[in-house]
C-alpha cells in the first residue's frame, strides 16, 4: 500500500538567494553614505538576485525584486553622495587656497619689544629664576 503525503516534491537544497539579495539590498540602501560598503553590498545583492532567478524560479519573486531595486538604488545614491562630497571638498580646498595664500608678513621690529611678547616674557622668567636654571631654559628654548 502506497501512502501519499501533502508535502511538495523535493526540489533540492534551498539556498535562500532571494533572502540574501534582500538583506544585502537593504544594507546597501541603509549605508549609502559609506561608498565602499554600499557599492560592494549592492553588487552582492544583484549577484544573489541573479542566482535566485536562475535556481529558485518563481519561488519568491518579491524578495528578489526588492533586493534588486534596493541594491541599484543603494549604488546610485552612493555614487551621487560621493560626487556631492567630492565636489564639496574640492571647492573647499580651492577656496582655502585662493583666500589664504601664504604671503610673508612685513618685518616689524616692534613685535619683539612690546609687553606680553615672547622676548619680554622670557626675560621676566629668566630674571626671576636662578642663573643655572635660566641657562638651561635658554638652551631648551
The answer to whether the predicted template modeling score (pTM) of the entire model surpasses 0.85 is no
Lowest mean pLDDT among 71-80, 95-104, 107-116: 107-116
Phi, psi values for residue 3, rounded to 5°: -100, 140
Using alpha carbons, list the distances in angstroms from residue 60 to 12, 15, 49, 63: 16, 12, 11, 6
Average pLDDT, the chain: 76
**Span 111-138, average pLDDT:** 57
Q: pLDDT digits over 8-42, tens only?
A: 555 555 678 888 999 999 999 999 888 889 999 99
Amino acid at each position: 500500500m502506497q501512502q501519499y503525503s501533502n508535502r511538495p516534491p523535493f526540489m533540492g537544497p534551498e539556498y535562500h538567494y532571494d533572502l540574501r539579495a534582500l538583506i544585502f539590498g537593504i544594507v546597501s540602501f541603509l549605508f549609502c553614505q559609506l561608498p565602499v560598503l554600499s557599492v560592494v553590498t549592492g553588487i552582492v545583492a544583484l549577484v544573489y538576485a541573479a542566482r535566485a532567478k536562475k535556481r529558485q524560479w518563481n519561488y519568491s519573486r518579491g524578495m528578489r525584486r526588492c533586493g534588486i531595486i534596493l541594491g541599484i538604488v543603494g549604488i546610485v545614491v552612493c555614487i551621487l553622495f560621493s560626487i556631492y562630497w567630492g565636489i564639496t571638498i574640492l571647492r573647499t580646498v580651492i577656496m582655502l587656497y585662493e583666500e589664504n595664500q601664504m604671503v610673508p608678513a612685513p618685518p616689524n621690529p616692534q613685535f619683539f619689544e612690546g609687553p606680553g611678547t615672547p622676548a619680554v616674557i622670557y626675560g621676566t622668567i629668566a630674571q626671576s629664576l636662578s642663573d643655572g636654571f635660566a641657562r638651561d631654559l635658554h638652551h631648551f628654548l
